[in-house]
Structure 1
Amino acid sequence: MSFEGAIGAALAEQRVDARGALHVRRRVGRTRIERLFQEGAAKIRLPQGAGDPLEAVLINTAGGLTGGDRLAWTVTVADGAHASVTTQACEKVYRSCGGDATSTIALDVGAGASLAWLPQETILFDGSAFRRTISADFAVGARGLIVESTLFGRLTMGETLRRGLFRDRWRIRSGGRLVHAEDFAIGPDVPGRLAPHAGTGGACAVATVLVLRDDAEDLLDRVRTLVGPTGGASAWRVGETGKLLARLIAEDGYGLRKRLIPLLHMLNGAAGLPKVWSI
């Protein structure tokens, strides 16, 4: 085997292949752990709390992702239970030496239950290649708050994303019916795709916020006020499900958080934001 081949084989052996799964159920008046599984670099921690929702913190101990890495999370919230799931820190996707980094998220929320999926930002570095898939199944009447924020480089650190690949696929169902689907693709010329007004006008920080709840339409005016002029929000019903979708755009991560945090506080009610967001 050549030196280059040996290096390639060594890198392939060291790739992250991590899975974490959390199943919670309501028992004795509050949401409690039913099952927890973690493998490889995927870790799950549950800060102590006095009541619902149960809060879970997802950790990738590898410190980030690069080409060939695989990370998968599964969260199941049984009937009547309430959970809030976040990440310990921003997920960083570094330059790829070959292949895509992948993140697969599967959510299942039962009748009368609620789930707030509130990971911190994903940061894409120059030369990164990343594919993310989010699949969620909600029972009719279950509540959902799903947020994903993406930073195309870190301007404040002088880190510009010039070339990269990002694919983001969402499939969200309620009562077995598809209520939200989107496929986002950008690259390899990321700045060129972001620059037009139909993109982000050159802004490097974006967030998508999806709300599933019966009164979603009643939240629209407040959401639009918090989103501001660089973004937008719409609400409608899909069958029996109320749905609100908001997009936020900002020059950098700091500007994005200034508007995203008040929005999530409002949408998540008394539960507010996970504590790790303030660190």
Structure 2
Amino acid sequence: MTLPMRPSPARIVTAQPRAEGAMHLSVKAQGAGSALDRYRASGAFKALFPRRAPGGGVEAIAINTAGGITGGDRFSLHATAGPRAHLTLTTQAAERAYRSAGGWGRVDTRLTVSEGATLFWLPQELILYDGSALRRSLRADLAGTARLLLVEPVIFGRAAMGEVLETARFHDEIALFRAGVPLCCDRVRMDGDIAAQLSRRAVAQAGGAMASLVCVAPDAGAHLAAIRADLPETGGVSLLHPDVLVLRIVAQDGFHLRRHLLPILDRLSNDTLPTSWRL
């Protein structure tokens, strides 16, 4: 006897869940130091606050609980240092941009630094995986007497794993404004075979890691000669204004990038670099 065949049920295709996270935090001056003013986080984004922050400021460690970024993910951070307050922002570990099955991952950061305030934006490295697609933007709005130390390190593929970025996309923008006037703008756009682009002599001479740094402080110019003397041949530093120092370093990998970057960050942060950078 032949049993009739039942039609197989139609396959249900569901959209893959995407990670989203948003964080808003601000700090205020309190006595001789600073204190947390407001904090709100949602989705796959949160912050930890060490009990003792160096220099009397507030230190916040941003954590992406999704474990990385891929196509369709959305993360945003808005941080404010109130008048005369001091805020240091870092990350628990290196961020990872994974292969995208479709669409862009986005990370948008907004920093506001009030009169007499200081903000250190010191995230650890962003590691780009082959096939990743990431759009990232950072905007900082500074009052006339605000101080800012900003660094953005990027690693182009995992050198220890022999990874080569042949199909990745990375669009990055950093824009700084002081009293509403543009102070500094830096854009990076890489699509396709990023490894081939980095191999060009005028781009990175086959370097696998890069860091961009901006320091806005009254004594920025005083650090210029010492930093320039310690830079590798693949690094450069200059003053855009008497109090605005900009730097870029290209290195063969993340290890060598840190070796050159850490002494500079120690100098410009007055030896208050977050502990997570030492681990």
TM normalised by structure 2 equals: 0.93
2:139 corresponds to 1:135: yes
- Rounded Cα–Cα distance in structure 2 between residues aligned with 1:35 and 1:128: 34
- Rounded Cα–Cα distance in structure 1 between residues aligned with 2:230 and 2:109: 27
Shift in Å, 1:224: 1.1
Provide the residue aligned with 2:38 in structure 1: 35
2:108 corresponds to 1:107: no
> 4+ residue runs of structure 1 moved beyond 3 angstroms?
none
Query: What code does the residue aligned with 1:31 have?
Result: S
Query: Do the aligned residues in 2 keep the contact of 1:52 with 1:83 (CA within 8 Å)?
Result: no
2:21 corresponds to 1:26: no
Q: What's the CA shift string for 1:195-217, capped at 9, x where partnerless?
A: 11111011110000101112222
- Rounded Cα–Cα distance in structure 2 between residues aligned with 1:72 and 1:244: 26
TM normalised by structure 1 equals: 0.93
How many residues align? The count is: 270
Q: Which has the larger radius of gyration?
A: 2
Alignment of 1:74-85 (within 5 A): 74-85=78-89
- Rounded Cα–Cα distance in structure 2 between residues aligned with 1:194 and 1:63: 27
Q: What's the CA shift string for 1:119-142, capped at 9, x where partnerless?
A: 000000000000000011011121
Alignment equivalent of 2:71, drawn from 43, 67, 74:
67
- Rounded Cα–Cα distance in structure 2 between residues aligned with 1:2 and 1:221: 69
SS at 2:260 equivalent: helix
Provide the residue aligned with 2:6 in structure 1: none
Alignment root-mean-square deviation, CA:
1.4
- Rounded Cα–Cα distance in structure 2 between residues aligned with 1:111 and 1:68: 37
SS at 2:257 equivalent: helix
SS at 1:95 equivalent: coil
Gaps of 5+ in 1: none
Query: What code does the residue aligned with 1:251 have?
Result: Q
* Percent identity for Structure 1 against Structure 2: 37
Query: What code does the residue aligned with 2:174 have?
Result: W
Alignment equivalent of 2:204, drawn from 200, 203, 211:
200
2:125 corresponds to 1:121: yes
Provide the residue aligned with 2:3 in structure 1: none
Provide the residue aligned with 1:251 in structure 2: 252
SS at 2:47 equivalent: strand
SS at 1:10 equivalent: coil
Higher helix share: 1
Provide the residue aligned with 2:15 in structure 1: 10
Query: Do the aligned residues in 1 keep the contact of 2:130 with 2:165 (CA within 8 Å)?
Result: yes
Query: What code does the residue aligned with 1:222 have?
Result: A
SS at 1:102 equivalent: strand
